Amino acid sequence: MKRRKIVAAVLFVLCTATVILCSFPAIFPWEKRLVDLLCETASRLAVALFLLALLWGNLRPPRKGLERALLWSLPCFAVALANFPYSALLAGTARVGRPDLLWLFLLKCLSVALMEELFFRAMLLPLLHETLQKRRGGLWGALLLSSALFALMHLFNLFFGANWGATALQVGYTFLLGLMFGVTYCRTKNIWLCVAVHALFDVGGLLVADLGSGAPQDAVFWVLTAVAGVLCALHIAISAYRLQKQEDAQLGR
């Protein structure tokens, strides 16, 4: 325990220093796209490592039932895969022009997913659930509140030049994604599945924006997103209802 506290303290100092340093990208003498990816990756990875040190003992997934958890998660993976710009890349309306930075882009997506899932699902969601558990519908309340906080966090993008319309849209769909990740964590007890789905979703959604140019969201994209989203929403809603029903039964409600 003492060793873990020391590691967490050291990582906290490194995390703070990295975030501060990455807040001033102009000091780095490289091209803007490379610097942006480096700063976004380093700052999120630093925070993720700090959270890992704090939560490590609570992150071990159940030893049994991985196959069932993966099978249950397939609709969530379908949503993530639908977020890729397949037809736009094939049609040439979007392109990826920097394959040399692909490794850094993938690391960025992984670091973002790891940081956000560790904080919002592995740390915040159980804390909210424990606080609200004695109330009727406590699990639903924890899921909704943690997802709302996850969505509202993206309002900070306004300070980095994002426009109100795009930010409002992002807040809306990240709330729904937060519910998907939250139910996934409650149902499977496996934070690494949440990280995998989240990272895959970000890879598809940010590929063109970070490494290329063009319009990735065409008619095929929206059809795939709608179909996968509706099916997954039904899957998540049914699972959330069953989880709440199980909790109510255990608490004698």
**pLDDT tens by residue, 28-84:** 888 988 989 999 999 999 999 889 988 887 888 888 889 999 999 999 999 999 999
Strand positions, DSSP E, 92-209 = 94-96
What was the pLDDT predicted at 169? 79
Please list, residue by residue across 86-113, b when 16 or more beta carbons sit within 10 angstroms of its beta carbon and e when fewer do: bbbbeeeebebebeebeebbebbbbbbb
**pTM score, whole prediction:** 0.93
Look at residues 146, 138, 216 and name the one whose alpha carbon lies nearest to residue 180. Answer: 146
Q: What is the pLDDT along the chain (253 residues), one digit of tens a residue?
A: 566 667 767 777 777 888 788 777 888 888 988 989 999 999 999 999 889 988 887 888 888 889 999 999 999 999 999 999 999 999 999 999 888 999 999 999 999 999 999 999 999 999 999 998 888 888 999 999 999 999 988 777 766 666 777 777 788 889 999 999 999 999 999 999 999 999 999 999 999 999 999 999 999 999 999 999 999 999 999 999 999 999 888 877 6
What was the pLDDT predicted at 15? 76
What was the pLDDT predicted at 160? 62
19/115 Cα distance (integer angstroms): 13
In angstroms, what CA-CA distances link 118 with 74, 169, 191, 240? 21, 24, 7, 20
What was the pLDDT predicted at 161? 63
Look at residues 135, 110, 129, 125 and name the one whose alpha carbon lies nearest to residue 199. Answer: 110
Please list, residue by residue across 148-173, b when 16 or more beta carbons sit within 10 angstroms of its beta carbon and e when fewer do: ebbbeebeeeeeeeeeeeeeeebbee
What was the pLDDT predicted at 23? 77
What was the pLDDT predicted at 162? 66
